[in-house]
Every structure is written in structure tokens, then in C-alpha cells.
A and B are shown apart, each in its own frame.
Chain A
Amino acid sequence: MADAALFEFLHTEMVAELWAHHSDPGPGGQKMSLCVLEGMGFRVGQALGERLPQETLAFREELDVLKFLCKDLWVAVFQKQMDSLRTNHQGTYVLQDNSFPLLIRMASGLQYLEEAPKFLTFTCGLLRGTLSTLGIKSLVTASVASLPTCKFQVVIQKT
């Protein structure tokens, strides 16, 4: 799986580089790094959103777009599907991955829990970017309770 390894190594370096560069180690500097990382993910997601969907008429409603994210997008980027998708039918969706590839090599449990969120930021941006190209404005956050399981929360912004 040479392709997967390339993206993983690149992603590792991106996170490390952004973390090394902020001269302000307090919360302000960290937020900057997170914003930059999320912005990168957003632009990649926008491009993927244009490139990936095979049938243009398949997205009749919001739920179809989310299903596309869980199946096609996840398979294209991480070679696996999202493990579960839940919604409250009012614009909030929770996508859960039980063995997220960017976290799976780190730990299986609670070690490194504090460091885990910064490895999810790029992917949050990725989801937000893809949704935006497909016409949906959203806010995406991620949380980790125990590696390598993580949840991405997508809240649709009604304009």
C-alpha cells in the first residue's frame, strides 16, 4: 500500500512542521497552527469534492452527501469506509471511525490521547472542504475518547 504510506508520512511532517514553527507556544500559537492545518484540509477537500463524485445526480438530499463522504471519500483517502454515521435529522451528523488510519499506528487505548486531536485537524478541514464544494456549508470538529477510535461531528450551517 505504497500510496497510503506516502500520504501518512506527508501528513505527519505537516503536523510536526506547523507545531515546530509557532514561536508562541501558548494557546494562541496553537490555534494558528490548527487553523492553517484545517485550511489546508479545506482546500484539498474542495478539490476532491470536484474530482471524486462519479454520478452528479446521485445527491438528492443532504444525507446522500454525507453517505458519499463516509463511503467514497473515506475509501479514496484512507482505503476504508467510515464505520458509523448517526444523525439527529436536524443538521447534525456524527461520523465515527473505529480504526482511523492516521491514529492507528500510535496507540490502542489512552496513550498519546492529548496529542491525538492535532492529527485530526487536517481531516476535519477535508470534510468541510468537500461539503462546501457540494454546496453545503458546515462546521466540522473531531474528538477522540480512546485511540484509534475517533468521531467527526458535522454541523450544517443554515444560511
Chain B
Amino acid sequence: MTVHNLYLFDRNGMCLHYSEWHRKKQAGIPKEEEYKLMYGMLFSIRSFVSKMSPLDMKDGFLAFQTSRYKLHYYETPTGIKVVMNTDLGVGPIRDVLHHIYSALYVELVVKNPLCPLGQTVQSELFRSRLDSYVRSLPFFSARAG
């Protein structure tokens, strides 16, 4: 069980942060295009899910999975989107993504006077705290499973 990578987007589609831990295959396109692709896909899936839902929507789009990995999604009312790719053994991790938002992004980026909002996060403290938090998760193992 492991975490592959993590993206953080703001409401305008700007990729605020990207970290990877175990990624054996790259997308084959430049990073900028990869972020745009990811954001565009999320935007489309969100609206698709709400339109096609046969019942009233509660939380909206939560995750999708393929035969190799699972993509988890969490969005805040302010439009911040946390996207984490893990392997298939991992269940719902909404609370983990919420913690990344509230205890890491809000505490260390929003409250940091030197991190302008709407730009890629430069703070080393954020990067290192996020890294140690993800490594401490119960479903993260140092060897890619």
C-alpha cells in the first residue's frame, strides 16, 4: 500500500504544489501540460458527476480507480483541490486530504505572510511537513507495493 503522488490546485487551475513519492511511469508530457490535463479532467468529471447522478448529490466526486491505481479527490468551498494517487488497497481518505488542507495548507501557506496566494508554494516548511505527514500515514510504505 502506498502513495504515488499528490497535486494541490487552486480555484483558477493553478497548480500550487506537486510531490511524488513512488511514480514508476511519467506522463510523457511536460509538467505544465500534465497539471492542465489533471485540472481539466477534474473539472469535467465534477460537472459530469453532478449532472448524471441518479440521486441527489451529497459529496460529489470522491475517487476513481483503474486496475493499477486509485485517484482520491477533495475540494473545499474555496475551490482548493487536493488530489492524491494511491494504490488500490487504500480506502476512503477524505479525512487525510482534509488534514492536508486545514493543518498544512491553511496553517503554513495561507497564514504565511511571505507566500502569496495564487502562486506555486515556495515554502520549504510546507514541503517538508507535507512530506513527513504523508510518510507517516498508515497506508504509506517505503517500498512501492
A contacts, CB < 8 Å to B: 5, 8-9, 12, 15-16, 105-109, 111-112, 115, 119
Contacts and interface: CB of A to CB of B under 8 A. Distances in A.
> Which among B111, B112, B113 has the highest number of chain A CB atoms within 10 Å?
B113
B107 A105 contact: yes
Given A106-B113, A106-B125, A115-B114, 15 more contacts: A5-B111, A8-B111, A9-B111, A105-B108, A105-B112, A105-B125, A106-B114, A106-B123, A107-B123, A108-B124, A108-B125, A109-B125, A111-B123, A111-B124, A112-B123
Nearest to A119: B113
Interface string B113-145: 110000000011100100000000000000000
B17 to A, nearest CB: 15
Contacts of B107: 105
A111 B123 CA distance: 8
Interface of B: 107-108, 111-114, 123-125, 128
A21 B100 CA distance: 35
A15 B113 contact: yes
B124 A16 contact: no
A105 B124 contact: no
A16 B112 CA distance: 12
A41 B101 CA distance: 33
Nearest to B111: A105
B55 to A, nearest CB: 37
Contacts of A109: 124-125
Given A105-B107, A105-B108, A16 B125 contact: no
A107 B115 CA distance: 11
